[in-house]
């Protein structure tokens, strides 16, 4: 029982940054803007979360600042790819580079240390918020029954995970059940048609990209304010790209991406429990499990397991008065 709880919580903690970011990516790409800058946006969120917390002293304010920073950072991508019709992949590469350089540069200036920030207050876990105290070991022994211990352990996760799961379902509702979602998807599928129907393509795309930045910022803040309590150089460590993989594997749908993220998170969490899993008598090295998300994405993309098709107008800048 206890093992199961630990496994579920580890899976969720590893998956949370992935599905929050992936849902953000879905908003951006459904509106027709390629977003490979998710990695950089996460990094910016992680950094400004720590900086905000460092100056205000409150991790919740840090979280807010991280989300705002992520949104603003995404706005750069939005302006360059929507207003100036530039190559969205190039802009994304530049943003990732900027994020990785800028955070370390500012880290050096603000904290005066190379590579890692000072420790800041972290966001309290659910058990602390709900006031569930860890029972003393002797009390547990005396009672002979560890219900309270179990409850304590079952609530030992960050509230951001709950926010993230809520975000997944809200995003699903917004995308597929509201007018805004329909318009957003329309601009991504066929911008010209959407424009003809009176939908402002650029407004929808700005919204999509900025939402992606906000969510990536949230995921970044989760990494720095919940998991570690400090910022480390390049701490997103490719999670933005795994989120991209989850988004593609999930066929640009929030709930599918959530499931894919859970699977990738499970693969990552497995490291904590088994150092070298054995399947059919063959030892599987750790690195092959880490490789899994990427290989799975390639397979899904190639169409071996249910073809994943991107929004039709993805990556095409929309020029309003283009003559045909």
Partner 1 sequence: MLNNMTNLKLSVKIAVIFILAFFLMAAQFTGAVSSAIAGETRWINVSSKISADGSMTREVKLSPDAELLKFAKAEFLGDFPDLIEEKCSDGLVKMTKKFVDLEECVGVLMVQKDLYFTDRYQIRQSLPLYPDEKVMRDIKVRFEFELPNGVIKILKDRKLQSRQLGSQTVNEFTLDHAGNMDLYYQFNNYKPITAVLLAAFLIFIAARMTRRFNFILIPVLAVLIAFFFAGIAIIVIGESPVSAMGAMYEGVFASRTNFLNMLLATTPLIFTGLAVSFAFNCGLFNIGGEGQVMIGGFAAALVGIVGLKFAINPMVHVIMAILAAGLAAGLYSLIAGVFRAKFNVHEVISTIMLNYIAYTLLGFLVVHPWFKENGPNPQTPEIAHSAFLPAFFARHDFNYGFILALVMAVFMWFILYKTSFGFNIRSVGLNAKAAEYSGINISKTIMLTMFISGMLAGLAGSERVMGLFHKYNSTAFVGYGIDGIAVSLLVNNNPLGIILSALLFGFLKTGGSYMNREIGVPVELVVVVQAVIIFFIAADKIVRNMLNVKESR
36 binds partner 1, rule: CB under 8 A: yes
Contacts of 265 (CB under 8 A, 6+ apart): 11, 12, 13, 14, 15, 16, 18
The answer to whether residue 90 forms part of the interface with partner 1 (CB under 8 A) is yes
Query: How many residues sit in the footprint of partner 1 (CB under 8 A)?
Result: 42
Contact residue for partner 1 among 61, 72, 102, 259 (CB under 8 A): 102
Contact pick of 288, 305, 312, 320 for partner 1 (by CB under 8 A): 288
Q: Does 85 bind partner 1 (CB under 8 A)?
A: yes
The answer to whether 187 contacts partner 1 (rule: CB under 8 A) is no
Comparing CB distances to partner 1, the nearer of 90 and 143 is 90
**Least distance CB 145 / partner 1 (angstroms):** 44
Residues 37-76, interacting with partner 1 (CB under 8 A): none
Shortest distance, position 152 Cβ to partner 1, whole Å: 36
Determine, following the binding rule CB under 8 A, whether residue 127 of this chain makes contact with partner 1: no
Please state the closest distance from residue 249 (CB atom) to partner 1, in A. Answer: 11
**Cβ nearer to partner 1, comparing 90 with 274:** 90
Selected from 206, 241, 252, 263, the binder of partner 1 by CB under 8 A is 241
Q: Which stretch binds partner 1 (CB under 8 A): 42-50, 79-87, 142-150, 155-163?
A: 79-87
Buried-state track 274-295, b at ≥16 Cβ within 10 A, e below 16: eeeeeeeeeeeeeeebbebbee
By beta-carbon proximity to partner 1, the closer residue of 104 and 160 is 104
CA dist., res. 100 & res. 217, Å (int): 14
Q: How far is the CB of 294 from partner 1 (least distance, A)?
A: 4
Using a 10 angstrom Cβ sphere, with 0-12 exposed, 13-18 middle and 19 or more buried, the burial of residue 259 is: middle
Non-local CB neighbours of 41 within 8 Å, separated by 6+ positions: 21, 24, 70, 73, 74, 95, 99, 212, 213, 216, 217, 220, 240
Report the C-alpha gap between 234 and 238 in whole angstroms. 9
Q: How far apart are CA 43 and CA 135, in angstroms?
A: 37
Q: Is 301 in the site for partner 1 (CB under 8 A)?
A: yes
Closest to 188 measured CA to CA, from 309, 73, 297: 309
Q: Is 285 in the site for partner 1 (CB under 8 A)?
A: yes
User: Distance from CA of residue 161 to its chain's centroid?
Assistant: 11
Half-sphere exposure at residue 210, Cβ-oriented, CA atoms within 13 angstroms: 12
**CB count in 10 Å sphere of residue 297:** 21
SS3 state at 248: helix
Closer Cβ to partner 1, 36 or 230, answer by number: 36
Assess 319 for contact with partner 1 (CB under 8 A). no
Q: Which of 104, 171, 223, 227 binds partner 1 (CB under 8 A)?
A: 104
Using CB under 8 A as the criterion, which residues of the chain lie in contact with partner 1 when the complex forms?
Answer: 34, 36, 80, 84-87, 89-91, 93-95, 97-98, 100-102, 104-105, 108-109, 238, 241-242, 244-245, 248, 285-288, 290-291, 294-295, 297-298, 301-303, 310
């Amino acid at each position: 029982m206890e093992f199961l709880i630990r496994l579920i919580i580890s899976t969720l903690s590893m998956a949370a940054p992935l599905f929050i970011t992936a849902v953000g990516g879905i908003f951006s790409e459904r509106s027709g803007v390629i977003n490979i800058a998710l990695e950089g946006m996460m990094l910016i969120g992680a950094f400004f979360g720590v900086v905000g917390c460092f100056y205000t002293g409150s991790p919740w304010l840090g979280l807010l600042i991280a989300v705002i920073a992520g949104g603003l950072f995404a706005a750069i991508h939005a302006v360059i790819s929507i207003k100036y019709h530039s190559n969205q992949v190039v802009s994304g590469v530049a943003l990732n580079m900027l994020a990785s350089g800028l955070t370390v540069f500012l880290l050096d200036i603000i904290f005066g240390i190379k590579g890692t920030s000072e420790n800041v207050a972290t966001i309290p876990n659910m058990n602390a918020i709900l006031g569930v105290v860890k029972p003393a070991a002797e009390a547990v022994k005396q009672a002979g029954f560890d219900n309270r211990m179990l409850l304590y352990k079952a609530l030992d996760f960050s509230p951001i995970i709950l926010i993230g799961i809520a975000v997944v379902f809200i995003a699903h509702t917004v995308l597929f059940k509201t007018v805004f979602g329909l318009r957003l998807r329309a601009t991504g599928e066929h911008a010209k048609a959407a424009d003809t129907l009176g939908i402002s393509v650029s407004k929808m795309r700005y919204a999509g990209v900025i939402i992606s930045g906000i969510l990536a910022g949230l995921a970044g803040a989760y990494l720095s304010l919940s998991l570690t309590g400090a910022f480390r150089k390049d701490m997103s460590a490719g999670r933005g790209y795994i989120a991209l993989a989850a988004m593609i594997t999930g066929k640009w749908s929030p709930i599918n991406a959530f499931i894919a993220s859970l699977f990738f998170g499970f693969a990552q969490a497995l490291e904590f429990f088994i150092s070298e899993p054995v399947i059919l008598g063959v030892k599987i090295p750790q690195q092959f499990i880490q490789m899994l998300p990427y290989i799975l994405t390639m397979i899904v993309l190639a169409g071996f397991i249910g073809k994943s098709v991107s929004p039709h107008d993805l990556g095409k800048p929309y020029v309003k008065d283009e003559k045909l």
